[in-house]
Structure 1
Amino acid sequence: VWHTHSSVECNGLLSKSPENILKCLLKTSLNRYRGDISLEKFTLIIQLSDDLKFVSSVYRCLRYAVESNVNELKLGFCCPYSNYPDSYYNLPQLVFYAKSMALLELDSCKLESPRGNVILSCLMELCLRHVCADDQVIKDLLSGCPLIEFISIISCQGLKHLELPNLGKLKEFKVYDEYGLERVYIHGVSAHSVDIIALHILPHINIAACKNLKKL
């Protein structure tokens, strides 16, 4: 665990005991939280575990980050078994309501439908990698991001007809698909760069609304 006055970063991929890593991280987080210190960056990269204490500890870390008005949140989980439901970390709903967050990076997380309207009013950059989510979840997520400028969706499972809502600030959109994405519809009038790569068949792309597009 590495931390400074304004950031907490933890890379525990090489650790054989993610629980011990989290215990140390929680201790660090609690000390900072008691001091009422706002958080610029929170990074957690760790091996995934189905242990209930692991799930609880990660949740407490995320709650601390959100309540500390985190500006950048990066989460990554590694599992030796891929392409199975239990190889994803179920992202807690509280992340959908982190009003101060400007950057969100998720790797190997599962996103479920928000229980209410997403409120990510400051989010400008969203990066999803090896994320499991359906089309509606992504649409609901982006509907709560009025300031989003950059979106990257890399090797995400569960998407078929990806529709981006009217995002007035969107500048760049990137997709790398290897699971059979069939359709992409972008409403972002201000988008000037769209980059779509498909491992198998290129999806149908509707960018008629992108009046300022400079790169495709």
Structure 2
Amino acid sequence: MLPIAAVLGVALVLHSARRKQPFIDVRMLARNRPLTVTYLRAGAVLMIVYCILYGFAQWLESGAGFSTSQAGLITMPMSLLAAVSSVTGGRTKGIRGPFIVSIGAALAGCICLFFIDSSKSAWIIAAAVVCFGVPQGMFSTATQTAVYLQAPADEIGTAAGLQRTAGYLGAIAATSLLGALYGKTASDHGLHSLAIVMGVLSACLFVATIFDRTIPRIATV
């Protein structure tokens, strides 16, 4: 399916480049590098987020043996932190800071995941995954602000739609990665492999974000 997807992707780009009002404005992406970088970062971080939202609960139930209600309670602190970090991120004037904190929290969460297994208590498992609440909340609000600052005023609607598209692509990539690493059943080995892949990606994003000059210094919206 990958070669087919590549061919169709190229066809979509060529078709969109010839249309005056395309579904995906590739011309806007080509001439607006800061906005394109924002989309790429959003897709990558949201892939990590969806790996946790989809894959961690699956591991809790099939790998660690928790019930559905227990799995929900274990992930509740992460959800609460996501809500708190969303409010905090919305009140922060800068954008680079929330990006770095969010990605750094994801990296810390990946490191913690590597050291847990099905023999650990629910409290330890909940503590290991709680860091992923920060990118769920703070990163989303910072990305939305960045899109509004970097997109032309007459293309805000299109830019906001492409932001959602980047998120959906991240979710699709997450399900593909989970299928490749988990196989038929989520196991400790699959979780640790997932932590390694997400950790490497988080580390690369962390360094790239620190040196990214396309990020606006101050949010003035």
Same fold (TM over 0.5): no
Structure showing the higher strand proportion among its residues: 1
Larger helix share, 1 or 2:
2
Q: Tell me which structure has the larger Cα radius of gyration.
A: 2
TM-score range, shorter chain: under 0.3
Q: Which has the higher contact order (CA 8 A, sep 6+)?
A: 2
